[in-house]
Amino acid sequence: MLWVKSLHIVFVISWFAGLFYLPRIFVNLAMVPAQSLAERDRLLLMARKLLRFTTMLAVPALLLGLWLWLGFGIGRGPGNGWLHAKLVLVLLVIGYHHVCARLLRQFEANRNTRSHVWFRWFNEIPVLLLLVIVVLVVVKPF
């Protein structure tokens, strides 16, 4: 079980690293002047590659988490409300990941309507989600 847990943590950290950086690319894309096509194309390429890589990291993170939950019974029984809260937050992280993919498609279609300031705030969401998830897993408040 400790091997599975260790790998789960490594893949979650890697997944979140991508979710931390991808919106930073969006900030830069939102600031690119219309005439800077080479800069825009370079940032779009970086964003596409990072999204693909981040998605590949999310899959084993989620599968290993399911293995811990269903295979080893982590979080079962009374006093494990923290896991239910964590699972809701994991669903929000998955949703955030999908929103990032949708935002990238908007940038690729040259249909972004949001400012770099909006993306700076958007970039803080995974930090808050990770903070709450870690507190739930470590402290197990309920």
**What is d(CA 95, CA 101) in angstroms, rounded to the nearest whole number?**
10
Segments forming the whole domain that contains residue 57: 2-139
Q: How many domains does the chain have?
A: 1
Average pLDDT score, the chain: 96
CB contact at 8 A, 8 and 68: yes
Q: How many residues does the chain have?
A: 142
- Summarised one tens digit per residue, pLDDT across range 6-30 is 999 999 999 999 999 999 999 999 9
Can you read off the two tokens belonging to residue 46? 């970086």
**What is d(CA 72, CA 82) in angstroms, rounded to the nearest whole number?**
17
CA-to-CA dists, residue 118 to 94, 99, 115, angstroms: 20, 14, 5
- Summarised one tens digit per residue, pLDDT across range 71-117 is 888 777 778 899 999 999 999 999 999 999 999 999 999 999 999 99
